[in-house]
Amino acid sequence: MKTKPWAVVLMSGGLDSCVTAALARQDYELALFHGNYGQRTVTRELQAFRDQAAFFQARRTLEADFQWLGTIGGSSLTDQERPIPIEEETAGGLPTTYVPFRNTILIAAAVAWAETLGATAIFIGANVIDNPEYPDCRPEYFTALNQLIDLGTGPQTKILVHTPLIGLDKAGIIRRGLELKAPLEFTWSCYQNEERACGRCSSCRQRLKGFAAVGVPDPIPYK
């Protein structure tokens, strides 16, 4: 029986990365990667990551420590002195939830792991529809990143970053997840609570709006 090639999937514990993993496992053996960068809800995210890894029967997992990224600050996700916004932020500027250069840093580590594993693909649930102000969620960013990976890895290494959800809105992502029977009940999206989701932060609002559009109840608890 032909074995599947390895793919490293960046997983936050949230909806987008869960659906991305469900897509990736159709053609790849999963190596699931989680970055702990000092985010407020890291404990709950890790629970979601581990629950999903068990569901997907991932043969490899890596929980990488990037606490120094949180120490640098610059984001309401990591700086306790900066409140998580609960209203729409002004369009045209960086959201306070943007973590400076986070995706590049996490993907760089994932590339190192992928090169070691002999993986040919990296998957990330980046989404430009829901996050148009995030510079590291744009298609052109990933085009440039793939060029960098090609230049910065060994001559026999061929690793491509895949962004299968880049053009979907949250409702489209949820529909895809339901089609794939992804374990959406094991996901966590809230930026500030770990027991019951707040329902007010931008991530919760996007999630609730998506489930409402699809017409199915969100399976996680809210305040």
Residues 52 and 70: their CA atoms lie apart, in Å, by: 24
41 lies in a domain? yes
133 lies in a domain? yes
68 lies in a domain? yes
183 lies in a domain? yes
18 lies in a domain? yes
100 lies in a domain? yes
Q: For the segment 109-167, what is each residue's pLDDT rounded down to a tens digit?
A: 999 999 999 999 999 999 999 889 999 999 999 999 999 999 999 999 999 999 999 99
Q: What is the pTM of this model?
A: 0.96
Residue 90: pLDDT band by 50, 70, 90 thresholds?
Answer: low
61 lies in a domain? yes
CATH no. for residue 88?
3.40.50.620
- Overall domain count for the chain: 1
222 lies in a domain? no
> Domain range holding 57?
6-214
